[in-house]
Structure 1
Amino acid sequence: MSKIENLTLEEVMGDRFARYSKSIIQERALPDIRDGLKPVQRRILYAMNKDGNTYDKGFRKSAKSVGNVMGNFHPHGDSSIYEALVRMSQDWKLREPLIEMHGNNGSMDGDPAAAMRYTEARLSRISTEMLRDIDKDTVDWVLNFDDTEYEPTVLPSRFPNLLVNGSTGISAGYATDIPPHNLGEVIDAILYLQKHPQASLDDLMEFVKGPDFPTGGIVQGIDGIKKAYETGHGKIVVRSKTTIEKLRGNKSQIVVTEIPYEVNKAQLVKRMDEIRLNKKIDGIAEVRDQSDREGLSIVIELKRDVDSQGVLNYLFKNTDLQISYSFNMVAINHMRPERLSLKTILTSYLEFQQEIVKKRTKYNLNKAMDRQHIVEGLIKALSILDKVIKTIRASENRKDARDNLVKEYQFSEKQADAIVALQLYRLTNTDVTELEKESQDLSEKIAEYNKILGDDKELNRVLAKELKAIAKEYRNDRKTEIQEKVADIKINTDVIVPDEDVIVLVSHDGYIKRSSIRSFTASSDESGLKDEDYAIFTEKVNARDHLFMFTNKGNLIYRPVFEITDVKWKDTGEHISQTIGLDSDEEIIASYSFTSLKEAGCFLIATDDGYIKRVNFDDLTPGRTYKKHAYTYIKMKAAESRVVSVDFIDDNETKKELLLTSKMGLALRFAIEEVSTYGARTTGVKSMNLKDDDRVANLAIVQEDDVLGFITQRGSFKKLAVSEVSATSRARRGVNILRELKREPHRIVDFTVLKSEDSPLEVITDRRKFHDIIPSDYSLGGRYSNGSFVVDVTTEGTPVIIRQKPEEISLN
């Protein structure tokens, strides 16, 4: 009768998952520190060796090897076994492949191998070193899954496979990424460690320079390698090996001959071609894969007069032409997963090999002693041959003969068995001589084996000799170049951004967008803005230009034009607050585009509380954090202060004059030269001596013959000649330009310089109503006139802005 237990789900899940985790950690996904193999790999190598499927014999169908492994040792799916077998044959995955394969065994393009019924395989020559001495009691054995035969728990691994071929795998709670290394370098490090057990990491790195990937490439970052070798965890940069070749007609091409480890070549070529098709960078004419049996070759052909290094840098940064490789050196050590340092791996391997040599020597010693015992019995038998023959002839059978020999001549049972089995032709003088010689040889071997077992120095000498022999036999040149520093990739904007014109719009409510000329032309009647919003900047600019946006609270927002969201013209675009936090009552009041960040000139900035300053263009050049943060371009005197005007003046305009007006109808005119240049985080100097309840309405750069257009809060429009306001100096009160009324006096809300009498003006009210004015319809007013009513404030709202009506954008 079965017993029913009451268990909580937590207990059941915890117990089952712990068992499952232990199983996949130890029996599936992680390599052993000693032979660097996962169980499936070990079983494949052992089964093929047991079957005689070695490098010195013919190839056999892969399906046969997979069947042997699955039927005898590895009770899992045939596909997982075959995939492991195929991977061990791929010379772009393993530094020293352990399997040789005939047929399609996959490719660097990620192509799968042909089915196992088509391919043929055998152990590679170096695999014999993995299995050498396995028949001499060098490793422990366990019963297989159905208890029908034994399998090794580890292979003798006479070369340091864990580091040479590396490993990758993911299990429950653990993952491993151990890169391949150069066999000769690793063995040299082990030989040094053998003589200097206290060797430091720097000492070992004199030999093991870093990973040596089968695909070559360039590894950058000694610090990352050192950290990985010290802690088992670190990061390096692996980049492709490339050359830039000059072609006729000022053209060039980038030739890639080695790519980073485990990068899919086909996907890499596809990604680079997508960059060409999508015009992410301008200048790539064609990308083609010219790889053949001679080696890898990817050619990126460039257009005429293209910055080839700039294109290459972009590809390094945006494709797998350069990757980051993270070491995570985890392996099974004493039945437990551990993250390992380089010295721990080398020390464990060295101890394991010492144990292998010791066990092999014990096996050889026992064999030699057993044989010597037999030989001594045979020599003794030959010395009393007549008596031995007489005794055997008098015996009833073989067993009786053996017993009689033991009883009468004090032979051991083993010796007696050997004598009884002796063939007649061996009973010659020659054979006696051979036996005596064999006995002497055995004595020498026994002495040698005892010496090895009794003296660690002798044991290490034997091990060192064998390691040197393996290094001599299989040593090859390093494939991966090591560079000390990670190269800083600088991408020239001219490479990334196509040289093309676009339309950029900045709205009053903070929306920005760019559109292609084609999209603008197709839907120029629809700006995409909300009904109550309006554009404060709409211009044709180059994608390589730079956009500066100034807010009324002293914040500067910078965007390279190519980084502005590219949308259809009839779409709204992105709101600036998506990336930069602005106050709810903060408005963009001015925008300017520039072809470079090295403009000659300065910004003229005025605030409503009567301050003014000039700031050099260089002082407002954006920093690295421009995408997330706005920059302060003026320090406000009070929290309620606002910027009313931002103008860019080049070096030729500094001889002109400024004219400021206040809300209460005062105007002041003085030379620009009176305004000093200050840094970004300053307030500046007094522009106008304001009364306590007065504020600056606006500022304009003027000349003597200019005409100004004013709008008041009552909807009155007035034209006034600049000459009516005499030029004085900065920080004065100014002169009246409105006639003061006792009831409902006019207050200036804004003014602008008229381009011409026929250029229409646009008045915008607080209700977002738009009212057009033709200046020629109105006569010039004197300083004491209040102008003519043009806007019905009761129906349209109070005017807040007067400006030149935006003209159609010239696309020529």
Structure 2
Amino acid sequence: MSKIESLTLEDVMGERFSRYSKSIIQERALPDIRDGLKPVQRRILYAMNKDGNTFDKAFRKSAKSVGNVMGNFHPHGDSSIYEALVRMSQDWKVREPLIEMHGNNGSMDGDPPAAMRYTEARLSKIASEMLRDIEKDTVDWVLNFDDTEYEPVVLPARFPNLLVNGSTGISAGYATDIPPHNLGEVIDAILYLQKNPNATLDDLMQFVKGPDFPTGAIVQGIDGIKKAYETGHGKIVVRSRTSIEPLKGNKSQIVITEIPYEVNKAQLVKRIDEIRLNKKVDGISEVRDQSDRNGLSIVIELKRDVDSTGILNYLFKNTDLQVSYNFNMVAISHMRPERLSLKKILVAYLEFQQEVIKKRTQYNLKKAQDRQHIVEGLIHALSILDKVIKTIRASKNRKDARDNLVKEYGFSEKQSDAIVALQLYRLTNTDVTELENEHKHLSDEINKFNKILDNPKELNRVLANELKALAKTYRNARRTEIQAEVSDIKINTDVLVPDEDVVVMVSHDGYIKRSSIRSYKASTSDDGLKDEDYPIFMEQLNARDHLFMFTNKGNLIYRPVFEIADAKWKETGEHISQTIGLDPDEEIIGTYAFNSLKENGTFLIATDDGHIKQTGFESLTPGRTYKKHAYTYEKLKTPDSRVVSIEYLPTPEAAGQLLLISKNGLALRFDVNAVPVNGGRTTGVKSMGLRGDDKVTNLQLVNENSVIALVTQRGSFKKLAIKEIPATSRARKGVMILRELKSNSHRIVDFCTIENDDQPLEVRTDHHRIHDILPADYSFGGRYSNGSFVIDVDSEGTPVSIRPKLTDLSID
């Protein structure tokens, strides 16, 4: 009767998952430190070698090899076996392919290989070195999954495959990324380490310069390589090999002949072409993949007179022409996953090869001793041949003959078996001489084997000679260039941004867009905004210009013009809050465009609670986080305070005078020079002596000949000469420019300067109505005049602003 155990889910899951984790770490995803192979790779190589599917024989169908591996050693899906087999054949993935394949085995473009029924495969010549001496008891063996035959725990791996071909894999809690290396360099390091067991990392790096990727390219960052070889973890930069070639007509082209390891070539070409199509960088006319059987070649043809180096730097930074490679050298060492330094890997391989040589020598010694024992028996038998023949003839059968020889002449059973099996033609004098020569040769071999086993120096000499011979046969030139420093990529903005004119619009509700001149001309009648929205900034700019947008809550939003969403003129564009978080009641009150970020002017900033300051342009230049965060240009005193105006003064000489008017009708005029220059995150100084709940409505730059237009909450319009307002000093109360009434007094909502009597002004109301006013139609009012009623507030709504009417742009 079965016993039912009561276990918690936590215990069951923990125990089951730990077993599963151990299994996939040891039996699936991570390579062995000794032969550098994962179990599926090891089984493929062993099964193909066992079947005689070697480099000196004809190719066989891949399906046959996969079937043998799956049926005898690896009880998993055929696709995973075939994928592992194919990867070992791809000379752009492994430095020294272990499989040779006929047919489509994939490509650098990420194309899948042909189905296994179409392709043919066999072991490569260098793969035979992985399996050499396997039949001589050099490695341990275990039963396969169904206990029908044995398979090797590890291959003899007569060359350091872990470093030469590298490895990549992900298991539970562990991942590995070991880059490929140059076989000759690694063997040189092992030979040096063999003579100098206390060698330092610097000593070993005289030989192993760094990774040697099958795809070549350039590795930058000797410090990253050194850190990786020291700790097993490090980062390097892998850069494509490129050249810039001149063409006719002052044009040029970038030619790429090597790309970083494991970069998909087709995706890389597609990405570069997308940059061309989207005009992310100006100057690329065509992108072509000209790769053929002679090698990789990607050509980027450039337009006339462009900065080819700048474009190449942009592509390095924004495509996989340059990538980071992270070392994570994890392998199974003594049945446990371990992150390994270069020296640990080399020491482990050296110790393993010493063990292989030792086991092979023991095997050869035993075989030689067994044969010598037989030869000695045959020589003795031939010396008493007549007696031996007489004894055999007198025997009943073969077993009786063997027993009689053992009994009468002292032969061993093995010797007797050999004598009984001796063929008659071997009884000549010639054969006796051959046996004596063989005996002498076997004695020499036995002495040699004993010498190797008894003397570690002799064993190391044998190993060194074999490694040297292997290096001589398979050594090839380094493909990857190592550069000590990581290049600092500097991208000229002129490369990124096309030198083209565009129309930029910012709306009252916070929508922003840039459109081509062509799109603007085609649809000037439809600006794409909602009915209640309207433009507050609309200018023809260059794509290389810079836009500063100031909000009434003291926030500055910066955008390079080329980064503003490109939209058709009849489209709305993007809302600024999509990238910058603004409050629902926050408005853009001033927008300015500049040719560069090195202007010398100042911004004049006024708040409704009576503060004012100047802030230098350099104090408001954008930081790195401008795309996500607004910059504070005015520190407001209270949550209810608002910025009412911001003016840009290009030079100190252009300053002149400023005018402030309060809601209650007080006006104050004084010199701009009276306003000190402060930083961005400051409030400023007192601008006007406000009383009670009075607030500043606006600020305007004026001179002695200026004329202002103001509008009140009752719909009254007034035109006033600036001479009516005396110039005084900062922080005064100001003079009254309205006549106070006993009831329902006028309150100023906004004012502006009149540049031209024939330029219309537009008054906007809280009902989203627009009322146009032509200043020429109105005469000047005195200081104590309340102006003329022009707006019916009952039908049109209460005025909220007055400003010169934006007209369509004049574009050639």
User: What's the TM-score once normalised by structure 1's chain length?
Assistant: 0.92
Q: Report what 1:507 is aligned to.
A: 507
> Which amino acid in 2 is paired with 1:606?
A
- Quick one: structure 1 residues 582 and 446, their matched pair in 2 at CA, closer, same or farther if it must change by over 3 Å? same
Q: Report what 2:666 is aligned to.
A: 666
The Cα offsets for residues 483-533 of structure 1, whole Å up to 9 and x where unpaired, read as: 233333333333233333333332333333334445545554444444444
Q: Report what 1:736 is aligned to.
A: 736
1:124 matched to 2:124? The reply is yes
1:712 matched to 2:747? The reply is no
Deviates most, 456-465 or 748-757? 456-465
SS in 2 for 1:634: coil
Contact in 1 for aligned 2:649/2:655 (Cα 8 Å): no
SS in 2 for 1:126: helix
Structure 1 position 800, deviation (Å): 2.8
The Cα offsets for residues 585-621 of structure 1, whole Å up to 9 and x where unpaired, read as: 4332111111221234222222334443332222211
1:312 matched to 2:312? The reply is yes
Q: Report what 1:747 is aligned to.
A: 747
Distance in 2, matches of 1:14 and 1:636, equals: 58
> Which amino acid in 2 is paired with 1:353?
Q
Correspondence list, 1:445-460, <5 A: 445-460=445-460
Q: Report what 1:633 is aligned to.
A: 633
Structure 1 position 135, deviation (Å): 0.8
- Quick one: structure 1 residues 792 and 125, their matched pair in 2 at CA, closer, same or farther if it must change by over 3 Å? same
> Which amino acid in 2 is paired with 1:651?
T
- Quick one: structure 1 residues 750 and 99, their matched pair in 2 at CA, closer, same or farther if it must change by over 3 Å? same
- Quick one: structure 1 residues 70 and 789, their matched pair in 2 at CA, closer, same or farther if it must change by over 3 Å? same
Structure 1 position 728, deviation (Å): 4.1
> Which amino acid in 2 is paired with 1:770?
I
Q: Report what 2:488 is aligned to.
A: 488
Structure 1 position 711, deviation (Å): 1.6
Contact in 2 for aligned 1:224/1:234 (Cα 8 Å): yes
SS in 1 for 2:498: coil
Correspondence list, 1:776-795, <5 A: 776-795=776-795
SS in 2 for 1:249: helix
- Quick one: structure 1 residues 437 and 504, their matched pair in 2 at CA, closer, same or farther if it must change by over 3 Å? same
Structure 1 position 691, deviation (Å): 4.5
Distance in 2, matches of 1:664 and 1:428, equals: 138
> Which amino acid in 2 is paired with 1:94?
V
Contact in 2 for aligned 1:499/1:543 (Cα 8 Å): yes
Q: Report what 1:244 is aligned to.
A: 244
Distance in 2, matches of 1:728 and 1:711, equals: 24
Structure 1 position 248, deviation (Å): 1.4
Amino-acid identity (%):
79
Correspondence list, 1:468-487, <5 A: 468-487=468-487
Q: Report what 1:351 is aligned to.
A: 351
> Which amino acid in 2 is paired with 1:769?
R
Correspondence list, 1:131-142, <5 A: 131-142=131-142
Distance in 2, matches of 1:382 and 1:112, equals: 67
Q: Report what 1:417 is aligned to.
A: 417
Distance in 2, matches of 1:586 and 1:214, equals: 58
Q: Report what 1:657 is aligned to.
A: 657
Distance in 2, matches of 1:544 and 1:19, equals: 61
1:225 matched to 2:213? The reply is no
Correspondence list, 1:573-612, <5 A: 573-612=573-612
Q: Report what 2:269 is aligned to.
A: 269
Structure 1 position 173, deviation (Å): 4.5
Distance in 2, matches of 1:185 and 1:95, equals: 13
Distance in 2, matches of 1:742 and 1:14, equals: 86
The size of the alignment, in residue pairs, is 812
RMSD: 2.9
Correspondence list, 1:532-571, <5 A: 532-571=532-571
Contact in 2 for aligned 1:502/1:543 (Cα 8 Å): yes
Structure 1 position 234, deviation (Å): 3.3
**Which stretches in structure 2 are left out of the alignment for 5+ residues?**
none
Structure 1 position 13, deviation (Å): 6.2
Correspondence list, 1:162-181, <5 A: 162-181=162-181
Contact in 2 for aligned 1:514/1:565 (Cα 8 Å): yes
SS in 2 for 1:109: coil
Distance in 1, matches of 2:213 and 2:100, equals: 19
Distance in 1, matches of 2:659 and 2:6, equals: 91
Structure 1 position 206, deviation (Å): 3.2
Q: Report what 2:83 is aligned to.
A: 83
Contact in 1 for aligned 2:524/2:808 (Cα 8 Å): no
Structure 1 position 57, deviation (Å): 3.1
Contact in 1 for aligned 2:260/2:323 (Cα 8 Å): yes
Q: Report what 1:396 is aligned to.
A: 396
Structure 1 position 98, deviation (Å): 1.0
SS in 2 for 1:746: coil
> Which amino acid in 2 is paired with 1:286?
E
1:51 matched to 2:51? The reply is yes
Distance in 2, matches of 1:332 and 1:83, equals: 22
The Cα offsets for residues 568-601 of structure 1, whole Å up to 9 and x where unpaired, read as: 4455444333333344443321111112212342
User: What's the TM-score once normalised by structure 2's chain length?
Assistant: 0.92
Deviates most, 459-468 or 190-199? 190-199
Q: Report what 1:33 is aligned to.
A: 33
Deviates most, 320-329 or 190-199? 190-199
SS in 1 for 2:249: coil
Contact in 2 for aligned 1:654/1:673 (Cα 8 Å): no
Deviates most, 629-638 or 136-145? 629-638
Contact in 2 for aligned 1:654/1:672 (Cα 8 Å): no
Structure 1 position 247, deviation (Å): 1.0
SS in 1 for 2:134: coil
Distance in 2, matches of 1:145 and 1:738, equals: 101
Q: Report what 1:256 is aligned to.
A: 256
> Which amino acid in 1 is paired with 2:537?
F
